């Protein structure tokens, strides 16, 4: 197989959650650039439609599905819509996620539940619903967006840490069960990336500098730094990669 064909996604269908900005937008863009038709799933239909217009210019088909990933009923309905839109889904990128910051001793149960519903339960349900169809077809790629906090505790983000640690765990669990059916389930654990989710850290000069000093690459990451790893895990180039948590962190975990 040639290098070009390894990364060719023409004729494939990719579902990306939280695709309007940040890592989700980068994921949708690189998959479209590789030729995949894109299903955009999120809460704000106007933002989804704007992204769809940009991706259509790349010559691929797009569909927008309105869904709050933290609402189980909406997730299950959205999965049915996604499978019906192009007849199948080849690639699922579980990117949608939220952060609620507070000291662990003061963390509200409501915030805990909201974060876990969105970051973990939503990803579980989409993986389950979309992945079952992949198993039946004998092929599929599922990419979960985990975090460095899948490996460490963090500060003032106890629910986020719990959700991302568990997301790494279910990545391995699904991979163990579905690998023999031709479905690859992997995750990417981004380091500190310049997105809206990390705005609070970027706007805190002391915290920002402390984090920067620990990154061997000497810089924070950009959403575009995730494009290559996402394409790799979505393509035939990763056919023998399963249950892996790929850190894309400028060397943070190696320091």
Assign a CATH topology to domain 3-247.
Answer: Rossmann fold (3.40.50)
Q: What is the C-alpha to C-alpha distance for residues 230 and 23, in angstroms, rounded to an integer?
A: 10
Domains of the chain: which residue ranges? 3-247
Task: Look at residue 250 in the predicted model and tell me its pLDDT.
Answer: 98
Instruction: Identify which of 219, 239, 216, 237 has the alpha carbon closest to the alpha carbon of residue 228.
Output: 237
pLDDT tens digits, one per residue of 41-76: 999 999 999 999 999 999 999 999 999 999 999 999
- pTM for the structure as a whole: 0.97
Residue 66 tokens, joined: 């309105």
What are the residue numbers of the active site? 160
User: pLDDT tens string for the chain (255 positions)?
Assistant: 888 899 999 999 999 999 999 999 999 999 999 999 999 999 999 999 999 999 999 999 999 999 999 999 999 999 999 999 999 999 999 999 999 999 999 999 999 999 999 999 999 999 999 999 999 999 999 999 999 999 999 999 999 999 999 999 999 999 999 999 999 999 999 999 999 888 888 999 999 999 999 999 999 999 999 999 999 999 999 999 999 999 999 999 998
pLDDT tens digits, one per residue of 181-214: 999 999 999 999 999 888 888 999 999 999 999 9
Rounded to 10 degrees, the C-alpha dihedral 62/66/71/72 comes to -50
């Amino acid at each position: 197989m040639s290098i070009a064909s390894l990364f060719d996604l023409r004729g494939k269908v990719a579902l990306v959650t939280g695709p309007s900005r940040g890592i989700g937008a980068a994921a949708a863009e690189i998959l479209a650039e590789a030729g995949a038709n894109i299903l955009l799933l999120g809460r704000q239909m106007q933002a989804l439609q704007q992204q769809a217009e940009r991706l259509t210019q790349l010559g691929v088909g797009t569909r927008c599905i309105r869904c709050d990933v933290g609402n189980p009923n909406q997730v299950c309905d959205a999965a049915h819509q996604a499978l019906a839109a192009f007849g199948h889904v080849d690639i699922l990128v579980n990117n949608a996620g939220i952060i609620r910051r507070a000291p662990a001793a003061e963390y509200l149960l409501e915030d805990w539940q909201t974060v876990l519903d969105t970051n973990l339960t939503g990803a579980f349900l989409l993986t389950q619903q979309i992945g079952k169809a992949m198993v039946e077809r004998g092929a599929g790629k599922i990419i979960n967006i985990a975090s460095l906090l899948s490996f460490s505790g963090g500060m003032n983000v106890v629910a986020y840490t719990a959700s991302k640690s568990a997301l790494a765990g279910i990545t391995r669990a699904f991979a163990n069960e579905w690998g023999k059916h031709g479905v690859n389930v992997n995750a990417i654990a981004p380091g500190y990336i310049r997105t809206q989710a990390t705005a609070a850290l970027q706007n805190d000069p002391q915290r920002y500098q402390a984090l920067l000093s620990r990154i061997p690459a000497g810089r924070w990451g950009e959403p575009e730094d995730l494009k290559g790893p996402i394409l790799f895990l979505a393509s035939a180039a990763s056919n023998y990669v399963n249950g892996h948590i790929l850190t894309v962190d400028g060397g943070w975990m190696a320091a």
